[in-house]
Structure 1
Amino acid sequence: MPDSSPISLADARKSRSASEPTLTQIDLRRLWDDITQGCEGCGDPLVRGLLATGIRNHAGFANGLAALIGRKLGDRSVADDALAELVTEVFDADPEIVAAAAADLVAIRERDPATANYATPFLFFKGYHAVQSHRVAHWLWHNDRRYLALHLQSRASELFAVDIHPAARLGRRILFDHGTGIVIGETSVLEDDVSLLQGVTLGGTGKNVGDRHPKVRRGVLIGAGAKVLGNIELGEGAKVGAGSIVLESVPPYTTVVGNPARPVGTRHSSLPAFTMDQMLPPIDYMI
């Protein structure tokens, strides 16, 4: 597959004002062209049908994504084509969902060195698929179709090993790297530009009711296997080391690690979710 990189996160940002954080329709067309071009060099006869079904048979990004979600989550309860039609209706009702999905894909291409082009995460990255399935389930949850939203949550959990409650709020440019084992509770909030690795839990601390899950601010990076529990806040630009157990709020631009997590360093700026830098400052600690 040839490299395909005409669109960058910087391009996407230039195309929108601060008051209107959306990708324009021309951006979506360019992105779909890049996705299509990303699979043109593949001559494997066993993959041609996959590429046709996943990409070439569709006129644009929204159509292709709706078909992908339908194909992935469809089962005997809700058939593939019926689910794809439902997702298309959701996209038509709220085009911002499509814009967010496109922004997520661009962010993955920017941050993940395993992505040679846009076609790869679009077709194969279950972290991306889980986030987009959640965006549809979230819309259903808030439009009086809660059982259907919970069905999509259940199917996504079964297929992707990623469990996101439909009521949880996710911003844009979200990266779930690998995805396996991520759990996000009902009242969790992830702001824009957040990156999570496998095995992360944003959970409660017991049987508390109401607002009981973490609030993750912009640019946070949470390392593999970390558990963030309770109605606490990870401040903008915070970094959580792999395997940490976080039970208290973390100030902005602060790195925490350990069990229980404790601060081990601060920065004046920079958002670790962009760099995916999981290195820690020199410390002396025991997990």
Structure 2
Amino acid sequence: MTLSRINRERNRHDGKPDTSDQIWTRLRQDVFITAKSEPMLAGYLHDSVLKHGSLEASLSYLLAGKLSSSYLTTTSLRDVLYEAMTSSEEIRRALRRDLSAVVERDPAAKSLALPYLNFKGFQALQSYRAAHWLWRQERHALALHLQSRISEAFDVDIHPAARIGTGILIDHGTSVVIGETAVVEDDVSMLHEVTLGGTGKEAGDRHPKVGKGVLIGAGAKILGNIKIGAGSKIAAGSVVLNEVPPNCTVAGIPARVVGKPGGPQPSKLMDQYVEFDYSI
């Protein structure tokens, strides 16, 4: 998509809300209520959300303001982010599922507006999605530069080559690290200081593969090219060095199986408590 076409498309959406998009309509309503209740933020809320006609136009504006630098201007970065979001149906679907996941799983998220505007885990994840799109377009230098800016702005470091599904919650986000060959399937929840890393200087496929519906507690470190089975729970502070079977709870350093999670998708329950089964 050419720069002039990007600008035409973006301007066409600005000021003309897409009422067919339920998530976007709900978000605008939440932001409008916030703007009425807090006049000091009204200008910011108008510029970030209310003046735009689509979720993609708003989010590209919001993220560009946070990620721009002296070498990557707000306008040029906004164009890149908007192109990524509107060129990929996968990204469009993912950002809506991610935003819904935050509200459904995080009791601190009282509305769509709160995580959208303020939760850096959500914002970092959507920024990664644009970087991943750039990586797949073979624009590796820009993707890696964007990774660096995301890390500086949000304290979340996700390699643009990592593959991450939809319906993802990164709660708090601080010090989350996801390596180059990591795979995170749909509906995973992780808290702050989680690492999906390698074990040393090995090359090639060297990072964890996390199955659907997994819950990863705060401070957990999962290291190496190992599979974390679907529906598993990784207790806070654990160091996981070996494969985890599906629908198991692991805890400890090094982590071992200590029981079963309370449901098929612990990521949606968000229950951090670990009940030890001493018969195991």
Query: TM (normalized to structure 2)?
Result: 0.89
Give the counterpart letter for 2:66 in structure 1.
K
Is 1:38 aligned to residue 34 of structure 2?
no
Q: 1:175 aligns with which of 133, 150, 169?
A: 169
Matched, 1:245 2:239: yes
Letter paired with 1:66: S
- Residue 29 of structure 1 pairs with residue 21 of structure 2: yes
CA distance in 2, matches of 1:225, 1:269: 22
SS at match of 1:282: coil
Contact (CA 8 Å) 2:32, 2:50: kept in 1 or not? no
In 1, distance between residues paired with 2:173 and 2:86?
Answer: 28
Unpaired stretches in structure 2, ≥5 consecutive residues:
1-17
- Whether 1:262 aligns to 2:256 is yes
Is 67-76 or 232-241 further displaced after alignment?
A: 67-76
The CA distance in 1 between the partners of 2:244 and 2:110, in whole Å, is: 34
Q: Which of 157, 162, 185 does residue 163 from structure 1 map onto?
A: 157
Unaligned runs of 5+ in 1: 1-25
Contact 2:164-2:183 within 8 A present in 1 as well = yes
Q: How far apart are 1:114 and its partner, in Å?
A: 0.5
The answer for the alignment partner of 2:125 in structure 1 is 131
What is the rounded CA distance, in whole Å, between the counterparts of 1:219 and 1:178 in structure 2? 19
CA contact (8 A) 1:221 1:238 kept: yes
DSSP-derived class of the 2:40 partner: coil
Tell me the equivalent position of 2:272.
Answer: 278
SS of structure 1 residue aligned to 2:39: coil
Aligned counterparts of 1:185 and 1:110: Cα–Cα separation in 2: 27
1:27, distance to aligned residue in structure 2 (A): 8.7
Q: CA deviation at 1:39?
A: 2.2
Q: How many percent identity over aligned positions?
A: 49
Distance in 1 between residues matched to 2:25 and 2:98, nearest whole Å: 17
> What is the Cα deviation at residue 40 of structure 1?
2.4
Aligned to 2:143: 149
2:88 alignment partner AA: D
Amino acid at match of 1:87: L
Conserved 8 A contact 2:135-2:160:
yes
User: Do residues 118 (structure 1) and 122 (structure 2) align?
Assistant: no
CA distance in 2, matches of 1:267, 1:139: 34
Amino acid at match of 1:97: I
RMSD: 1.7
Q: Which deviates more from structure 2 when the two are superposed, residues 158-167 or residues 84-93?
A: 84-93
**2:67 touches 2:149 (CA, 8 Å); kept in 1?**
yes
Q: Which residue of 1 aligns with 2:188?
A: 194
CA 1:128–1:253: 2 relative to 1, 3 Å: same
* Aligned equivalents of 2:181, 2:74: Cα separation in 1: 30
Report if aligned partners of 1:38, 1:119 keep a CA contact under 8 Å in 2: yes
The answer (yes or no) to whether the contact 2:220–2:234 under 8 Å persists in 1 is: yes
- Kept in 2, the 8 Å contact 1:28–1:61? The answer is no
Question: In the alignment, what sits opposite 1:76?
Answer: 70
1:74 CA displacement = 1.1
Counterpart residue type for residue 129 of structure 2? R
Aligned positions, number = 260
- Counterpart CA distance in 1 for 2:187 and 2:60 is 23
> 1:184 matched to which residue of 2?
178
Of 50-59 and 181-190, deviating more is 50-59
Amino acid at match of 1:255: T
TM-score, normalised to structure 1, is 0.87
Q: What is the deviation of 1:155?
A: 0.4
Higher helix share: 2
